[in-house]
Amino acid sequence: MGEESIIRPPALKNPPNTTSVDSSGTRIVVADGFPNFTPGAFYLFDNTGAKLATHVTTDMNWPIQISADGSGIVGGSDTNTLSFFTP
């Protein structure tokens, strides 16, 4: 493995449940929320930790993936819904 790079984005409201990064390593997505039945969010950061976008949800979130080219983001929530975003 190469050298470790630690990114310290602005504090999330909750611990991150899952993350994903595009193939260029420039966009990072995070899903958070805890416990059940409390609001969570999906976040988009750049590779310096700057927050680019936030989408608040009504319940905690688990899976999130960003496409290889960074053009699409999909995440799932404990409300049994999927959300699709374009950066």
pLDDT score recorded for residue 74: 97
Specify the pLDDT at position 25: 94
At residue 4, the pLDDT reads 73
Q: Where are the domains of the chain?
A: 16-85
Calculate what percentage of the chain has a pLDDT beyond 90.
Answer: 70
Is residue 12 within 8 A of residue 30, CB to CB? The reply is yes
- In this predicted structure, what is the pLDDT of residue 1? 61
Cβ count near 31 (within 10 Å): 28
pTM: predicted TM-score of the whole model, two decimal places:
0.88
Lowest mean pLDDT among 8-12, 35-39, 59-63: 8-12
